[in-house]
Each structure stands twice: as structure tokens, then as C-alpha cells.
Structure 1
């Protein structure tokens, strides 16, 4: 089984410009600027709603249903209710630093931030660098 969310040719800038509510447009462009700076790569749309930076190949450790595919090393989506961040807590070093981020909630694999002003952007930058440092090792 492979993951359904794949890279697309869709425009990242157009996607960010369409975010709602209006403050998500500004926040989305700010996060994009930070992620470009910290990763040194151009973003790619993954599916219709995830802005991803870099990619790695993974193989799930499940013995019952083997899942593998490619996924962004780090990414985000400016969703209506919160900014959703991907990859920030996947590595032990990132998970250990996460409590210093500020006001956030967690979901399966995601970190949700209601407003960018509620988090420490220096900590976010460090989390991005940690997430982006992952290699192509299927165990990472």
C-alpha cells in the first residue's frame, strides 16, 4: 500500500493566496519564507493542501500492513482553524524541543498553531532544521 498524498505541479503561491480567513494568507506566506530560509529548498504542493519542503522515503514498521512512500521532510498547511505543521515532532530531538514552541496542540503526526504570534519563531526555526535533517533512511 502506498500513500495517496503525492507531489503536484500546483502553485504554492496561489494556494497560499487563497487561504482563509485573511490572516492565514499573511501567516502562510510568513511560514513559507521561514521554511525556505531554514531548508534552502523551494516548496512543492503535496496533494491539494500541504506545502512540503524536501522529501524522504519511509517504510512503516507495521507487520500487518506494509505502507511505504515519499513524504515531505517538513511541511505545513494554512487551514482555517489553525496552521498545521508536519514533521516537527517526528524525530526525538524535535519532540524534546516541542514544549518550548509556545501555544500549540498536537494530533497524529501534526502540530497545530492557532496564531503565529503565539509561538516562538526561533524555536520553530530550530524545529524546521531538525525535521529537515532527516535522511532517506526508511527508519527515520
Structure 2
């Protein structure tokens, strides 16, 4: 089994799932097809994909970092701490924030994927009752 086969399988899994998957979830999915694959091979392939900008890595409060295919328009996440709902947030206003931080603090922001935690509208309504 070649590393490029594992890398291609990871990309296929992320394309099909359209979800935020942990490293373990990705490993289990790859292992389903490539039964002899070891965890370190999947780990290295994921890291290469992140370094190449094809996959993003984020902490969205699931207890482990999650990976997502970088496709289409850049976006960020609003994560409900009560129900776990994830709302995608378009990049525009967040990119402006990053630019202001860089200008005001002479600091180069390399994190281009942001997760903000709070409560979704439905959970706010439930908590208010």
C-alpha cells in the first residue's frame, strides 16, 4: 500500500462525509478499505494534507481536533455548547478581524480557521424557558 493511496482515500472520505471528522474516525474509515494500514501512516498523511492546505484542522469541542476538506469559500464555525450544532460562518468579517489584529499588533496570524463557542438560537430559547 502506498502513502499516496492512503492520502487519496482520506480526501475521498472527507469529500463524501462533508463533516468534521476526528483522526480516529478517519483512521477507521481508511482501515475499512486498507486493512493493513497503521495509525501512523494515516496521521502522517493527514499532517501533509494540512501542511499543503488541502485539509483544515480545528478544535470544535469534541474532545479531539477535527479535520475538514478545504473546499469552496473559506469559513469558520459557531459551535453550540449545549446541542453541538455547528453553524458555518463566512470568512469576510472574520478575515477583517484577522487583518485588524495583524495591523494593530504587528502579528502574523497563521490560524485561518476559527471556532467560536456559545449557544444556538434554539438552545437559548430553551434555556430562557
TM-score calculated relative to the size of structure 2: 0.29
More helix by percentage:
2
Larger CA Rg, structure 1 vs 2 = 2
TM-score calculated relative to the size of structure 1: 0.28
